[in-house]
Structure 1
Amino acid sequence: MVAGPEVMHQVVPMLEASFHRCPLKGGEEVVVARVAVSPPPPVASPEADAEVELEVPDLERKAPLETLQFVPNIRSGSFADMGPRRYMEDEHIRIDDLSGHLGSLLLCPAPNAFYGVFDGHGGSDAAAYMKRHAMRLFFEDSEFPEAVEEDELFFGSVENSIRKAFLNADLALADDSVISRSSGTTALTALIFGRQLLVANAGDCRAVLCRKGTAVEMSRDHRPTYDAERQRVTECGGYIEDGYLNGVLSVTRALGDWDMKMPQGSSSPLISEPEFQQTILTEDDEFLIIGCDGIWDVMTSQHAVSLVRKGLRRHDDPERCARELAMEAKRLQTFDNLTVIVICFASELSGCLPPSDQASSRRMRSCKSLSAEALSNLRRLLESDE
């Protein structure tokens, strides 16, 4: 909410003002003052009192922009499947109302949400640990910043806090004697505060934004085939063999895997440092897909976006869309576990459809709402008219 301008009241004997409300586009009003200017005595004026119109330019310019700002209406759905593997090593977190979940622990701009996908390898220990301790690691131990307004300072602090959470989680996995040192997990998190979307990634999970039907990748896959990662690995004394880091691991960033990392404080080819991408959401941004590499191994980002968009137009159910995306990956013969989260930013996608498609969608919903008996009666009525 934008506070209205402060009005100072002062007695001015020479001015008499009457105020009128002028409607603006978007439902806002600008106060226009008609001021009667009386000539100072004792000089007489041959003319009647003149009228001068005064407007408040800042209010006229800023108010409509503030009221028309896009505010995400967050809702989500998720689906996880073992796929062709013998064991499930993925975990995920889906929280559409973060402040409601954490209560007094968090003061931040609204709406707010938190999502994470953890793709384990070398067993499920590391991924399961991340899911179990994520709230503590990301929002309690990391000195998460507090604010009620979105600004650059707040989001700079958020990024530093999330980076610290990734690094501390990595160290926590090393210190936990129950977790095998050969167990590790990739990690991708997405935070929404107001209109700001912040994605942090370490590994080969992927976040893809749908912007007016076009796929916008919000993360980069940290694999040995990625040139920047290959160069970093080489500079740290590592090597790539048959597409694997040190001939063992298919990713170049992950939490855990302490049997492959150098002692704490040393430079290592395998790191837990996340990469960040951030954007301001607008009405063009329809939904975000977060998925493990079991999805992206067999389909492009655009394929996934088109499939989910089609599903939302048909039934407007993000949970069902997540399942359909995983089933498509299975149909395309993925060889990995499957985990997908679909996060929508509008109350329904039908508002993004052309008028002709909206009418068709309404007709389909109307037909589906008829009972079998009503359809039978309608059919008999139509046949009798013939």
Structure 2
Amino acid sequence: MNNRNLECQSGFDDCADFKFCFRSGVWSDIGNWQYMEDEHVLVDDLEDYLAQFVKEKLLNYIVSDVAFPIAVEEAVQHAYLETDAPFANACSLNNALSSGTTAITILILAREIFVANAGDCRVVLCRRGKAIEMSRDHKTHVERSRIEALGGYIYDGYLNGYLSVARAFENWHIEGLKGVNCPLIAEPEVRRAVLTLDDEFMIIGCDGFWDIFTNESAVAFARRILQQHNDLEQCSHDLVDNLQDSSQVSTLAMRSLLFGPPPRLFPRFMARRCMHFEKQL
């Protein structure tokens, strides 16, 4: 697993007493699909489908791990694998079981953010208007070397011809895809960042959201909307609603998380030109 730290480059230590105010908004849409696949859960204060199981269990596994909160990355790794394990046992007893999901987790402890990802959901941070990718999509081509080293292959972009991602929960029902020395894993990639006074909000979206929006366009759109009404629920709705005209839309789920007041829009000062006309005689 690769850990990546995004170090704080601003003078945040000069503002040690600064306290962030967290607010969130969420919106999801079924898109062109017959049923909703995506789930989400948010806990603002840490005091018969797999997505539903992960939603209910994963956070509990993280905070109850013996390594938490001293070694957050280790606790998250344990929790992801612990969440995945029951489905291996269930599938061994019932061959008819088939389910799978990706997941992304954001933990905010004081000024630190930990983003754990297994699959193709994505978190993008807005830092003074700039889009910073806080997670990596685990598409098959990204992890080709690891997949092939474990005897897997990529066919037309799909892992062993089945999945478009290289990391996910469950899918134990597909022979040769998951297990010891198999190419599909549930181990998350964890990234850490330190909040700064320049950090405005984060956008968390599933693959259907990011198939249409680029990081930069999503941040620019959300920033403009928040400047208008400062309503995160409405912002999330507007982001998803903006995609509805696209024929490429699948199921959608996204969440926006605000760290402080909305970014201020400073009006441009209009330069005035004084023009003097003299009538020629």
TM-score by length of 1: 0.62
Letter of the structure 2 residue corresponding to residue 94 of structure 1? L
**By how many angstroms is 1:265 displaced?**
6.1
For residues 222-241 of structure 1, what are the structure 2 equivalents within 5 Å? 222-226=138-142, 229-241=143-155
Shift of the 162–93 alpha-carbon distance from structure 1 to 2, 3 Å rule, reads same
Letter of the structure 1 residue corresponding to residue 265 of structure 2? L
Shift of the 179–207 alpha-carbon distance from structure 1 to 2, 3 Å rule, reads farther
For residues 158-177 of structure 1, what are the structure 2 equivalents within 5 Å? 158-176=72-90
Letter of the structure 2 residue corresponding to residue 300 of structure 1? T
* Residue number among 115, 131, 134 corresponding to 2:58 in the alignment: 134
Q: Which protein has the bigger helix share?
A: 1
1:365 aligns with none
Q: Distance in 1 between matches of 2:195 and 2:87?
A: 34
Q: Distance in 2 between matches of 1:248 and 1:342?
A: 31
**By how many angstroms is 1:325 displaced?**
1.0
- Asked if residue 302 in structure 1 is aligned to residue 216 in structure 2, the reply is yes
1:353 aligns with 265
* Residue number among 143, 154, 160 corresponding to 2:66 in the alignment: 143
* CA offset digits 1:149-195 (Å, max 9, x no partner): xxxxx3xx111001000011110222246896431110100000111
Shift of the 344–246 alpha-carbon distance from structure 1 to 2, 3 Å rule, reads same
2:245 aligns with 331
TM-score by length of 2: 0.84
Q: Distance in 1 between matches of 2:163 and 2:155?
A: 10
* CA offset digits 1:253-309 (Å, max 9, x no partner): 001000236598621110111001111011111001110001011121111111111
Contact 1:126 1:184 in 2 (8 A): yes
Q: Distance in 2 between matches of 1:263 and 1:225?
A: 16
* CA offset digits 1:190-242 (Å, max 9, x no partner): 0001110100000000000001111100011101132xx01111111011111
Number of corresponding residues? 255
Letter of the structure 2 residue corresponding to residue 139 of structure 1? V
Unpaired runs of at least 5, structure 2: 1-11, 269-281
* CA offset digits 1:44-72 (Å, max 9, x no partner): xxxxxxxxxxxxxxxxxxxx955555432
Percent identical among aligned pairs is 42
Q: Distance in 2 between matches of 1:342 and 1:193?
A: 18
2:45 aligns with 97
- Asked if residue 206 in structure 1 is aligned to residue 206 in structure 2, the reply is no
For residues 99-118 of structure 1, what are the structure 2 equivalents within 5 Å? 99=47
Letter of the structure 1 residue corresponding to residue 50 of structure 2? A
Bigger Rg over Cα:
1
Contact 1:260 1:270 in 2 (8 A): no
- Asked if residue 186 in structure 1 is aligned to residue 102 in structure 2, the reply is yes
How big is the alpha-carbon RMSD for the aligned residues of Structure 1 and Structure 2? Answer: 2.2
* CA offset digits 1:313-370 (Å, max 9, x no partner): 0000111111111112222333311000100000x214x433x37xxxxxxxxxxxxx
* Residue number among 30, 43, 60 corresponding to 1:82 in the alignment: 30
Q: Distance in 1 between matches of 2:252 and 2:242?
A: 11
Contact 2:236 2:256 in 1 (8 A): yes
Letter of the structure 1 residue corresponding to residue 61 of structure 2? L
**By how many angstroms is 1:128 displaced?**
1.2
**By how many angstroms is 1:96 displaced?**
1.6
| Larger relative contact order (CA 8 Å, sep ≥ 6) | 2
**By how many angstroms is 1:98 displaced?**
2.0
**By how many angstroms is 1:129 displaced?**
1.1
Contact 1:126 1:179 in 2 (8 A): no
